[in-house]
Structure 1
């Protein structure tokens, strides 16, 4: 005979309501009761029917995730963590790669009854998203968002500290002629990394050698470094706002016979997969992709399962980590 929820309740010595709450990942169940239910399920080899459970709850069992690009191994790691955590909880992940210029209203995931909730990964035009999702009463969480909105559940990285740590590392190696290639201005992460960079230099009584506005691309780093090479006026160290920019910088320098790190040290940001595969391997600032994805899922499921919006007095913020590899060294001479 097939085991059902009533058998689990009887085996655990708890009510059917409590068993149902455990199955639906409610946070209101006491830990010892949750353990009793899980043990009873294991003893009875009970496998809940996810489709039937979703139907009974008026849910789809699908979580949507929208992102502007997947050509980025940092974002890939966030997406993988989100998918793994949702799979553990019996949800399917639907991904939409949505142009930053497109209107939220045209995104198929931004429709009632399509998904139980949405994760917005590194979104632009956030106010449009927030307005549309709140109007349709779709639970949502923003990861790596660009605006400081205290009313929106969000998970970010302390980018200001990341920029500070990158500059501090170069200063500690004796560098004084330190340049920065920032990311696009619309990104909060770009602005925060630059603020941190400037703060570390100011603290040491230094002025930036140069600050250039770039894009998060290899070609952007290559073009800016090539311009410096043509002027024959080079810094001794460069902090690039992401690893793709840093890769372009290193390519330009090496093509011109400038050695990294013997002549110029280079620091990137993100710890993309390629950072540990470069020659020399790239010193960079690692963003905790797995923590970002995991906490984003926890926030969203809390909203969905408890039917109440999580408190969002401020964004939940994780610390970045300086990863020292081969592309930085003490200043030459």
Structure 2
């Protein structure tokens, strides 16, 4: 990539601009960090407009579940097979192939040798006049053949499979099904979306929701830049998320872009964030020191105005004692 010297300005928000030279330096650092990975960004100029494009990592930070669409656009709905028509697929295999009818194997029956004469002379009753116990004849229960209950397989052509993969993406391995169409993505799990530097925050949100076929409105969500220090900065509707990511730096251990609900998250400034991770005893000691400093300032001001009050009164007395001159 050519990172030559540039002098024009690139918009990074409403009434906010950055020089192209400075942006190219940030972009060079960004691409060096992701060298050899698909997260590297490319830039080009189109009609005198500087455009950066590539993948942007976005972490899920939702607290409430989201809803996935029941079906993809322009996808035909196939009625489920009837449970009473199991016999309709008796001659079909798992892939819809016709099975050959089963042939009955031929079994040769040989004559059984006649029992000994001593066995034939046994009486139906024994010496005590009791009938001998008869052995139970085992009976085979008639069962339905496993071949007969095979259903027609849902065979898709390679072009259909490519279209489905392109049309609906999984959220960290979670594909849509009727039982889990409403679910909450794992907090902190990462996804990505391909955007460019001319796309504003609402456009990126709509693109991300459309990628996963999420029914929720884009107005329910917002993008936040979250730092490890606890600082949370909400991206405005006029901001460009890809430019913001480049300016924040490539390392996601320092800051990440999160998708969150608007009404569930409050912005945290840097001044507040630097105290968030302290333990409670440390924070109490800070409050005590601030209270002591406040008391000292109050006493200092009281002494100052006490002296001024005395000076004013003394001057008024001097004026009252001086005779009026005509």
User: TM-score w.r.t. structure 1 length?
Assistant: 0.20
Which has the higher relative contact order, 1 or 2, with Cα contacts under 8 A spaced 6 or more apart? 2
User: TM-score w.r.t. structure 2 length?
Assistant: 0.20
Greater helix proportion? 1
